[in-house]
A and B are shown apart, each in its own frame.
Chain A
Amino acid sequence: KNEVEQSPQNLTAQEGEFITINCSYSVGISALHWLQQHPGGGIVSLFMLSSGKKKHGRLIATINIQEKHSSLHITASHPRDSAVYICAVRSGYGGSQGNLIFGKGTKLSVKP
């Protein structure tokens, strides 16, 4: 079982829909990251969270440390949001501190 699990693996939405992507993790962490990878391949960091909630434009990310769970929400989705969204946690312990452990990603396709 992967230390970071994302759901769903694939998601198709109509333009304008509200989207939620979930991430659960089983290790102790110092921070959780949401990343976006576009079809062209580049990876962009969207959020870094250690508690609570962050908002940037139409994107909202939340984390519940006690439940070891995070969600990424996209409001008023648009075709340009189509990408793979990757949850990654930064280990809080030992020699691997600072390294990211990745989920397998959620492939989002937003149809016009």
Chain B
Amino acid sequence: DTAVSQTPKYLVTQMGNDKSIKCEQNLGHDTMYWYKQDSKKFLKIMFSYNNKELIINETVPNRFSPKSPDKAHLNLHINSLELGDSAVYFCASSRTGSGYTFGSGTRLTVV
């Protein structure tokens, strides 16, 4: 059983489109995250959400929005995709006092 699963693994789309990436965790963790890894392999937090509080990195454009239907899911919606959005997006989850578990990543390519 995959602990944190993301879909799709690869996503190729045209500029201007709207797309979503789904994330589910079956670990019972209370906090979920979205991270972006750029072309230089540098990881940066985008959002964290623990069903009480959404914390948004102030550098994230408002074209990006997280949606959490329940504690086990945190989906990422991206509107009006731009070339610069091309990256690998990682979902992760954690519980207070424990380590993080990462999904396998979604490679987004905007053409």
Report A-chain residues with C-beta under 8 Å of the C-beta of B98: 48
Q: Taking the nearest CB of chain B, how far is it from the CB of A2, in angstroms?
A: 9
Chain B 53-72: CB-based contact to A (< 8 A → 1; otherwise 0) = 10101000000000000000
Knowing A48-B98, A98-B48, A98-B94 are in contact, say whether A41-B43 is a contact too (CB < 8 A).
no
Chain A 38-50: CB-based contact to B (< 8 A → 1; otherwise 0) = 0001111101100
A102, B105: Cβ atoms closer than 8 Å: no
Could you say which of A33, A86, A99, A102 contacts B48, with CB atoms under 8 Å apart? A99
What is the total of A-B residue contacts with beta carbons within 8 Å? 57
Report A-chain residues with C-beta under 8 Å of the C-beta of B48: 96, 98-99
Knowing A43-B90, A98-B94 are in contact, say whether A104-B41 is a contact too (CB < 8 A).
yes
Please report B residues at the A interface, Cβ cutoff 8 Å: 31, 33, 35, 40-45, 48, 50, 53, 55, 57, 88, 90, 92, 94, 96, 98-102, 104-105, 107
- Between-chain CB contacts (< 8 Å), 18 pairs: A33-B99, A37-B41, A41-B104, A41-B107, A43-B102, A45-B100, A88-B43, A98-B31, A98-B55, A98-B94, A98-B96, A100-B43, A100-B45, A100-B100, A101-B45, A104-B42, A105-B41, A105-B42
14 new A-B contacts, CB < 8 A, other than A96-B55, A99-B55, A101-B45, are: A37-B41, A41-B104, A41-B105, A44-B102, A45-B101, A47-B99, A86-B43, A88-B43, A95-B53, A99-B48, A99-B57, A100-B33, A100-B45, A105-B42
